[in-house]
Structure 1
């Protein structure tokens, strides 16, 4: 063997070993997420707080930002009126008197007169984030220190609040106080729109297992904003700088503007709040054993693609290295790395390896789905869900490659530029990326989603 052949062999051997280690590592993460789903969500015990007296349970203010008629809006909001918890209030936040959500809200307030609920109309312009502006009036009028912020397209089980308060009051294994309790989203759709099925498959499989794995390891903040429970007294001490508070005073806070108004400059305010509590106060997060049932609306393929572009560009400006590595964790790229590496090392046939990889991945993803849903994938949606799963895997890399070159995002009819650390500035009205998708599968104008998404480390 000549010198050039030896060098090539060493290079291929090194790359194959690195590829095999990477492939194995990602599968370990996937299996960790699958194990976490099984161990955490297949049993949901009743909390003692569910039957406690009002004086024995910490007060909670539930804030729900509303904008228009989301899918299943009545059922979503009603799920907070039926919580098995003795001491809470509900604040339903809308921007103006003409909002289409108001008749639904007023009907529910009348239906449940025993529940302390009030409607907050108006907004405070504290930044470019419309969700934060929407929440400000309710945030300031809340009577309790513990706040539970729930998106309008989220439905929760009756015992969710009690179990979340339990988790908030239980220290981590390391002894650190829990500052925030969040819930993994579980998506479901009553319709059969292409984008809805793809998003449903994504959130209930790939997203869920990665989200659970990262939070099981818990070496960094990773929080989705669908359903978050935290203390206002903690939030009022941080400002999103992510710099640890150096003062030794028990209630020391950052200088300048703190609390929810300080996060109006961020697109992903939910993740920044979680990161601020983690880094600035040195506190931790926890997941309860409940899911946030995310009602996926009438989402077109265009809407799904636009949403993925938006959050890839946000993550790129917040966690650049992790975002650049993201394509290497996707199934198609990963199987290419693994199959080529193992073929060189052991002579395995690529086609056989690819079949085994995707078969095992589907088994794992369906197991994650069953853990979160509490039942296997229903036969009624089996083929649509599987088609959405395949489409999600196939579209992941093309969407990423398009999204990574650029900083402009579309959000609720406007165009923004994402700045460093996830801050944003408005740069104009809505522009059209993927007009072809929009022409094929248009979404009704009255569907407006105040969704958020995690920025994984």
Structure 2
């Protein structure tokens, strides 16, 4: 029989744990906010930007392309105007009738002094269309250092030089840096519901958590909008995440290695980073630049579908971390924290809730200002704040929707997510409600996957 005394001890333990969790997550948020201020408010010019080509390591910039992405011309032009003396640009498209080709040809003609090539055709090495598309550039790259930049990303002219600096600088622990990545910073060119919610998510909650995790650096955490790494490192790993036993500098995993080995993963960027971390024992670093992620015409359904897709991928890669994720969201967290503070200290819930969301909004706007280089513009203030509120309210419902299924859509294709983030293409049911379907009747397709 549970006595009042036993019940009190049980509640004391539970609410104490709740209070500790509340404080821990707030500390993580503050670490992310401090990192944003410390790293992104000042972007010094790299000495490599004014060096000559004999000093600066050669870099091959790979751009995977399909169709006319929002802001495509400006996005691509930002790589042509890099302040770096030794680079080439490889523009990869899968088909000769791709709508992006006229834009590519215009840029190549506009910058004749830039070593740029248009590569048409793909190599089917797996189900990931981005990897298939990148293979021509990967094979043709003249340099060991590769910079893979998505087509919807715009970068600062000094980004490449600063990223190479970071790649060549060991971590404080003395480990070599294998990969340099850039935190995504979204900006919407259209006032669409999904676009504004996604913009608010990437520039606040996602950014501060991403920065905090990478600051603590206890595990690999990389988004593949803009990644710089060495092909010689990639040729040694295969995504098994098993440490290479040999200590020889050239030791590699058995079997297929390099970019083709990652065609079986949907989140190839995260898996490549994890392979460097676990198989080679190397580390990552963030430069002081952002990957300006241009968000175009994204509907509310598109936003939900995108969040569901990546939660389902993460669920099959890092299940424990994914299951804990809802407890880090503001509404769930404030419920835990305020109930704990009420029981332990008698603090009224309304005061806790008011302080929690007021300070949270303040630090999120501070993170935005750090990454953007300026405060939130007046012109989008109310739309952005509405997107921020919607993101916080929708976080738990979207998670619950995502956690119950294993099928995702990407670039018009439908996939089943398998263990460790691998995927296989399945038949696509042409129904609006297919995202919510939990049925497992599917047909494996053996046809070639195109981006």
TM over 0.5: yes
Task: Give the Å deviation of 1:205.
Answer: 0.1
Distance in 2 between residues matched to 1:168 and 1:436, nearest whole Å: 40
The residue number in structure 2 matching 1:422 is 421
- The CA deviation at 1:52 is 0.3
- SS of residue in 2 equivalent to 1:55: coil
Question: 1:121-173 CA deviation, whole Å, 9 max, x = no partner?
Answer: 00000000000000001100000000000000000000000000000000000
Return closer, same or farther for 1:89/1:3 CA change in 2, 3 Å cut-off: closer
Structure 2 contact 305–435 (Cα < 8 Å) conserved: no
Q: Distance in 2 between matches of 1:288 and 1:187?
A: 17
Q: Displacement, 1:3?
A: 6.2
Kept in 1: contact 2:182–2:290 (CA 8 A): yes
Deviation of the 1:89 alpha carbon: 0.1
Mark the runs of 5 or more structure 1 residues left unpaired by the alignment: 438-449, 451-457
Match of 2:276 in 1: 277
Deviation at 1:394, TM superposition (A): 0.3
Q: Deviations over 1:323-358 (max 9, x none)?
A: 000000000000000000000011111112111100
Alignment partner of 1:379 is 2:369:
no
* CA–CA distance in structure 1, aligned partners of residues 239 and 2 of structure 2: 55
Provide the rounded CA distance (Å) in 2 between the counterparts of 1:435 and 1:122.
31
2:386 and 2:191 map into 1 onto residues whose CA distance is 11
Distance (Å, rounded) in 1 between the aligned partners of 2:434 and 2:265 = 27
Deviations 1:77-131 (A, max 9, x none): 0000000000000000000111000000000000000100000100000000000
Partner of residue 244, structure 1: 243
Alignment of 1:436-455 (within 5 A): none
- 1 CA distance for matches of 2:2 and 2:302? 55
Taking a change above 3 Å as real, the CA distance of residues 111 and 320 of structure 1, as seen in their structure-2 partners, is: same
Could you tell me which residue of structure 2 aligns to residue 175 of structure 1?
174
RMSD: 1.3
Matched-pair contact (CA < 8 Å) for 2:28–2:212 = yes
Matches within 5 A, 1:295-444: 295-429=294-428, 431-432=430-431
| Aligned 8 A contact 1:65 1:131 in 2 | yes
| Counterpart mapping for 1:121-200 below 5 A | 121-200=120-199
**CA deviation digits over 1:53-82, x for unaligned, max 9?**
111100000000000010000000000000
Measured against aligned partners, the alpha-carbon deviations of 1:232-272 in whole angstroms (never above 9, x if no partner) come to 00000000000010012220110000000000000000000
Q: Distance in 2 between matches of 1:51 and 1:392?
A: 43
Cα distance in 1, alignment partners of residues 116 and 433 from structure 2: 42
TM-score normalised by L of structure 2: 0.95
Query: 1:432, 1:35 → 2: CA distance?
Result: 45
For the residue of structure 1 that corresponds to 2:9, the secondary structure is helix
The verdict on how the C-alpha distance between 1:52 and 1:142 changes in structure 2, with shifts beyond 3 A counting, is same
- 1:106 is aligned to 105
Query: In 1, distance between residues paired with 2:238 and 2:284?
Result: 18
Gaps of 5+ in 2: 437-450
The TM-score, its normalising length taken from structure 1, stands at 0.94
For residues 406-453 of structure 1, what are the alpha-carbon distances to aligned partners after superposition, in whole Å with 9 as ceiling and x for unaligned? Answer: 10111111111000000000111255455899xxxxxxxxxxxx8xxx
SS of the residue aligned with 1:238? coil
CA contact (8 A) 1:54 1:87 kept: yes
2:34 & 2:277 partners in 1: Cα distance? 25
